[in-house]
Structure 1
Amino acid sequence: MAEGNSYDCDMVESLAAKFIAEKAQDVHINEENIKKLASTIMEFFLDTFENKLPTISTHFLQKFDTYSFINDRNVADWLFVVHTLNFSLWNPNNTKQWRVNGAQGFFGLCAAMKKISEKGMRTWDPRCYSKMMQCEFEHIFRGDDETPIPLIHERCRILHEVGEVLLNKYKGTFVECIKASDNDADNLVKLIVNEFESYRDEAVYEGLTVRFHSKAKALVSDIWAYYKDNDLLFKLNTKNMMPIMFIHYPQLFFYSFVLSYSDRLMTRLEDINKPLEYGSREELEIHGCSLFALTKLCKEVLKKSKDVASVVNTEEFNALILVDNYFTLNLSFTLSTKL
């Protein structure tokens, strides 16, 4: 386990979300609409999955083919690089967006990694990316129309940093981080946050430091999804882990009326030339309230699953995976029609 100040990431994150939700000035959670959405999700489950619980999210299925050609052992390293680079992949509105093979955002990043890997570059190997020059990084991650990937300097710097940690402390592979965590998912989240600065999502809200670790949790979740039927690494115990909030959830909560914004915040969001700053009060309220709403939604879905216990094994019921499948297959379409 990493040295330094370790802490219970789940407790810190849950308390931060609750604290922000209670103090929020511009974001409001509608409890009744959470209950309505939970009922809709359970109806979706009964109609779509024929009482067979989905075991992984459609997010994972969508990106699976982008690394299915890689050796099993290297997938953990590949996922580590992808999640490390997964931030601020969008350019300002009314400017060219970065696309690879027509894909944007996270899936554009996956497509870029696959494209580079198929040309023989070991994109998952810190011996490769920790020494990469910025001009080389810019060249290999260029978009379909030569549009550069956003924040090139920052991404290159972060890759150098995480690569050096792996080379100096973990034998040059993220697999050793998993071993150091005793193959335990919660321990692995703590190790990632402690060892890799770019995974520490911290800010000050109402005079207190709040911490979110969705980035580390998303990485661990994807590793679990890939290896869940393979004893090569570990089996993730998802039962006690706090829900992972994906980047599109706040928008989906807004359009499903779980969240509502003040007139002031709505006016602020309509200014396409001034996006909310990371760590600003408004950004933290959207993030914290969304996470708190997701926690409540998952609890409500789990509660409603007990009403249909005759057709579902509640011991194996994972509310978050069901919620994510519902969002991806249903509300994502609604979102795409509104943007």
Structure 2
Amino acid sequence: METLSSVYLKCGVSWPKNFPSNAKQGQKSGSGSHSGRQQHAHGKPPLYYAIKTRQTSTQGSLQTPHSAPQLHSAMEDVRATSAWVASRSSHVLVDSAGIEKVVSTIESIPKVEWDFEGIHYFDNGPLTVQYLFVLDALNFCFWPDKDLNYDDLASGLKAALQNDKSAFDADRLQKYTGPQLRELLRWPRPLPLEDERVRLLHEVGSELERNFEGKASNLVQCCGKSAVNLVALVARHFPGFRDHTVYKGRQVFLYKRAQIFAADLWGAFGGQGYGEFKDIGSLTIMADYIVPAVLRQLGVLKYSPTLASTIESSGEIGPGTEEEVELRACSVHAVEKMRELISKKSGRQVLSVELDLWLWAAGVQCTSLQHHRTLSIYY
């Protein structure tokens, strides 16, 4: 079992001084740092880009497969069904002893602040909300193109909006073609899952126009300052965000990109205005490629020999397969258990969003970390 600091050391980079570490000696200083382009190959949101951290001491009923989520139960369903998968998993094991060992090394956790000078558009108003919703609609599956990263998407959309404030108007979103999207992003070749990206843009534009007067800000205002309600509303109205599947005969909910939208708003607006949510602590981690790989490195997750071989040989894992569902759901469940233990240790509420950031930050600095490969519109 490795600590988070040893994950950094193994990758040839120094443990960030603002992150918890129990390995004070032998750290390399500043070697092997990576550019933003490398760090965002796995589709993390603006909340995770160019983060500044503050320290806080730690001392001291399921729906049928095609139904929309109920407002009161969206995040309850994510937690309950992830736990259900973890209790029946055939390929991924959540190691309770590994969780306890990791938590015992944690001295403090980072707080998240938005980067206002980076690659993201921000005007502190409704246009930022529209930008974030379009961004999170397209924020998935970059890995098939080794040169394409999250940075290209975020900065490309920012530039497009700066050049034309109407670029993301609902009627415009419904008309984009693949080549036009590439031109918008200034990308020289077809995007991974390009047809799906175009379809999702059309869906966003159509549904915003039909129910929210074309504005994502109106969607946000309908949630009553509840992140849970926002996740449920997004998944209810926009099928492309409806991140759920069936595992061993039971429906499993993850809602990664819908949760990211809520988390991005919270981060961008500093928990105020469009980002004010009374229940931000209800969000789980955003189950992706990086977090499972880091949890495995830490000894929190253990893989079957067959799954480990597939990942280590860069083989693809099909969307909706037992292996893929277990990787994501077991990650959610494991981090929820970590959060509970850390909260008990610290005597304060710890956000899953904070832990997601923390684990992901370790992973993106390690370009040799082997993650699973799945073609999916959900992450």
TM-score normalised by the shorter chain: which range applies?
0.7 to 0.9
1:78 deviates by 0.6
Which consecutive unaligned segments of at least 5 residues does structure 2 have? 1-66, 371-379
Q: Which amino acid aligns with 1:323?
A: L
| 1:158-237 → structure 2 map (5 Å cutoff) | 158-231=200-273, 233=274, 235-237=276-278
Name the residue aligned to 1:74: 127
1:220 deviates by 0.6
Q: Is the 8 A contact 2:122 2:128 kept in 1?
A: no
1:234 deviates by 5.0
RMSD: 2.3
How many residue pairs match? The answer is: 301
Q: Which amino acid aligns with 1:297?
A: M
Name the residue aligned to 1:309: none
Name the residue aligned to 1:11: 76
SS across alignment from 1:117:
helix
TM-score with structure 2 setting the length: 0.73
1:226 deviates by 1.7
Name the residue aligned to 2:170: 126
1:250 deviates by 0.7
1:5 deviates by 4.7
Q: 1:131 to 1:190 in 2, by over 3 A?
A: same
- Partners of 1:319 and 1:239 in 2: how far apart? 8
Q: Is the 8 A contact 2:247 2:325 kept in 1?
A: yes
Q: Is the 8 A contact 2:294 2:362 kept in 1?
A: no
Name the residue aligned to 1:29: 94
Q: Which amino acid aligns with 2:126?
A: R
Q: Which amino acid aligns with 2:224?
A: D
| 1:301-312 → structure 2 map (5 Å cutoff) | 301-306=342-347
Percent of aligned positions that are identical: 24
1:229 deviates by 4.9
Question: Using CA pairs below 8 Å that are at least 6 residues apart, which structure has the higher relative contact order?
Answer: 1
Q: Which amino acid aligns with 1:235?
A: E
| 1:1-339 → structure 2 map (5 Å cutoff) | 5-7=68-70, 8-41=73-106, 43-45=107-109, 54=111, 56=112, 60-61=114-115, 65-70=118-123, 72-91=125-144, 96-99=145-148, 104=149, 106-120=150-164, 122-143=166-187, 146-231=188-273, 233=274, 235-238=276-279, 240-247=281-288, 248-272=290-314, 274-306=315-347, 314=348, 317-333=349-365, 335-339=366-370
1:32 deviates by 1.4
SS across alignment from 1:264:
helix
- Partners of 1:332 and 1:152 in 2: how far apart? 25
SS across alignment from 2:367:
helix
Q: Is the 8 A contact 1:141 1:148 kept in 2?
A: no
- Partners of 2:250 and 2:206 in 1: how far apart? 32
SS across alignment from 1:336:
coil
- Partners of 1:190 and 1:325 in 2: how far apart? 23
- Partners of 1:71 and 1:321 in 2: how far apart? 22
Which consecutive unaligned segments of at least 5 residues does structure 1 have? 46-52, 307-313
- Partners of 2:167 and 2:194 in 1: how far apart? 16
Q: Which amino acid aligns with 2:155?
A: A
TM-score with structure 1 setting the length: 0.81
- Partners of 1:235 and 1:250 in 2: how far apart? 29
Name the residue aligned to 1:310: none
Q: Is the 8 A contact 1:299 1:319 kept in 2?
A: no
- Partners of 1:126 and 1:170 in 2: how far apart? 10
Name the residue aligned to 2:17: none
Higher helix proportion: 1
Runs of 4+ in 1 over 6 A off after TM superposition: none
